[in-house]
């Protein structure tokens, strides 16, 4: 078998991994939401 035929079964496309730290991504997302809300409030856009 060649290296190409052994790796052809599972092709990675560069997307997010399934085994990543989901809680960290969740917390970072909410942190971004809070920071954007504070910025909008400080600029008087709301």
Per domain, the residue ranges of the chain are 22-46
d(CA 40, CA 19): 34
d(CA 46, CA 42): 9
Encode pLDDT of 1-46 as tens digits: 565 555 556 776 776 666 667 889 999 999 999 999 999 999 998 7
Predicted local distance difference test score (pLDDT) of residue 4 = 59
* 8 A C-beta contact, residue 40 and residue 46: yes
d(CA 25, CA 19): 12
Predicted local distance difference test score (pLDDT) of residue 17 = 63
3-class DSSP state for residue 19?
A: coil
46 Cβ neighbours under 8 A, 6+ residues apart: 40
Predicted local distance difference test score (pLDDT) of residue 45 = 84
């Amino acid at each position: 078998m060649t290296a190409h035929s052994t790796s052809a079964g599972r092709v990675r496309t560069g997307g997010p991994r399934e085994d990543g730290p989901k809680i960290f991504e969740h917390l970072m997302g909410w942190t971004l939401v809070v920071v954007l809300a504070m910025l909008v409030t400080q600029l008087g856009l709301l």
